[in-house]
Structure 1
Amino acid sequence: MKILLAGDSTVAACPSYEYPMSGWGAHLAPETYWWAAVHNYAKGGATTESFREEGLWYQLLHQTVQGDLVLIQFGHNDQKRDHLAPRAGYDANLRRMVADVQAKGGIPILCTSVERRHFSKGQLDFTLGEYPAVVRELADELGLDVIDLNHWTRALYEELGEEGSKELFFHFAPGEHAHWAGGLEDNTHFHEKGAKRIAVYVAEQLESLGYGLAATLKVGARV
């Protein structure tokens, strides 16, 4: 079984010059899901539309065979395009992606978008509107498994607090990072510390959904 990832920068592996910025998909293997091959097609700036237009979705589907898991997480950049509104283009594109994966014999797993770290007067803001709700509703309607990263990351940030949650994100003072010499306070993209925590949670959720090592060995024994 393979695990194939479709998503944006919060999932993608980042270029070396941006280290230690990272998406969670870069740490799903070998650190957390070492026994399954993980193919990460996620790309910074991607939407449910551009991912197909740029050929990344075709590449992913070309590698998908019976029983492979395809994890899909978009929303951050769809939110910036009026025609990709939650109950318009976004929903339609997700439905098409699900159908494509199922036609290949793969197993689509929808992921709600990870939350941004935006606090107002000590309270964590909801920055993604209806995008997470649409994913939950679509999974329920189509009988799909869903990993609710929006709910979980919100709980994580709130547990750590406004100050403590900074360590999960890409914050550097001037002079601390060669690529961002002037400093950076990024509350969307993760420091590898944050990306690794999310990857561990994704792996745990896959195990609880029955896609762990034991399940794969059982399938292999029947072949």
Structure 2
Amino acid sequence: MKLSITSQVGLAITAILSSTDAFPTKPVPQRQLLICSDSTTMPYGKTSLIQGWGFYMHNFFNLNITNLARGGRSTRSFINEGLWGSLVASIVPGEGTIVLIEMGHNDNGDPTTDTKFRATLPGIGHESVVVASNATGGTTERVYTFGHYLRKMISDVKHAGGVPILSGMVPIMSWNGGVLETDWAFADYEREVAEQEHVEYIDHTKYAVNRWQAFRSVNATAPYYPLDDFTHTSWPGAEINTEAFVTAVKCEKRSLFRQSQLAPYLNANASHIEYQC
């Protein structure tokens, strides 16, 4: 039977639409995660004795992860040195870039005597102090509380179209007999700021403490800290801290979020981490 012109045209269109090559679809971009942190998180080279926990994040999340952590930085110095501005410039508006902020190790100290220009005032209030410093281009610098700098970071991320998430810092191996220190002030400050600003807080501190507490002594954890500073981990030690972070994402339930905003991006490797909540 001879087909009409209309039928022939219809069949041709159907063939075109069914062809996988006719209308190639643009792949959906993988969601971006930027990490702002310090030496406990940053990536190190293959010959390094130490490694930061952020190095292993890509093993557990289906995210496009860029680890921008930098050793020796606090919230204050990360901002003053322009590292923060570069990070914010990397946020892609409209694509939900997540910015994970885990700071605190280098914020501790007295800004009036700190010659590294990184210490912040403790707490989350609005106090400030003027110190001699050329960190901001002048002869003096007004230094604020840890909470002040966190609030600035949160505001900057939101204004750039990103999603800020705060995370508690990994602990130093500070043991009292067989008990690892559980109270870390700067982790508490991060949680308090997150609550005030209505952003997610991941309790990395609690889950990392739980993981290391299972070793039961400073002697048992010592091999995981090759610099003998009980702060910077070996490669296996970094994996422990990464798995603690993943466990926090899997287990934590929050008042603002039914689950962590990172939970949907956990991959099969994350399900193989068998540590209790």
Letter matched to residue 53 of structure 2: W
Query: What does the per-residue CA deviation read over 1:162-219, in whole Å, with 9 as the maximum and x for residues that have no partner?
Result: 133334x323xxxxxxxxxxxx4130011111212222333454464143238xxxxx
Query: Residue 232 of structure 2 aligns to a residue in which SS?
Result: strand
Q: Counterpart of 1:60?
A: 87
Asked if 2 retains the 8 angstrom alpha-carbon contact of 1:115 and 1:127, the reply is: no
User: Does the alignment pair 1:73 with 2:102?
Assistant: yes
Query: Residue 186 of structure 1 aligns to a residue in which SS?
Result: coil
Asked if 2 retains the 8 angstrom alpha-carbon contact of 1:3 and 1:39, the reply is: yes
Query: Residue 70 of structure 1 aligns to a residue in which SS?
Result: strand
For structure 2, the residue ranges without an aligned partner over 5 or more in a row are 1-30, 112-118, 126-144, 251-258, 267-277
Query: Residue 44 of structure 1 aligns to a residue in which SS?
Result: coil
Question: For 1:97-116, what aligned pairs fall within 5 Å after superposition?
Answer: 97-116=153-172
- How many residues matched? 197
User: Does the alignment pair 1:144 with 2:180?
Assistant: no
Letter matched to residue 32 of structure 1: F
Letter matched to residue 185 of structure 1: D
Summarize the Cα distance change of 1:81–1:38 in structure 2 as closer, same or farther, 3 Å threshold.
farther
Letter matched to residue 213 of structure 1: Y
Question: For 1:167-186, what aligned pairs fall within 5 Å after superposition?
Answer: 167=223, 169-171=224-226, 184-186=227-229
Letter matched to residue 155 of structure 2: A
User: Does the alignment pair 1:195 with 2:222?
Assistant: no
Structure with greater Cα Rg: 2
Q: Report which of the two has the higher share of strand.
A: 1
Q: Identity percentage over the alignment?
A: 27
Aligned CA RMSD, in angstroms, stands at 2.1
Q: Counterpart of 2:152?
A: 96
Query: Residue 166 of structure 2 aligns to a residue in which SS?
Result: strand
TM-score, normalised on structure 2? 0.65
191-200 or 62-71: bigger deviation: 191-200
Q: Counterpart of 2:9?
A: none
CA distance in 2, matches of 1:157, 1:213: 26
CA distance in 2, matches of 1:73, 1:195: 15
Q: Report which of the two has the higher share of helix.
A: 1
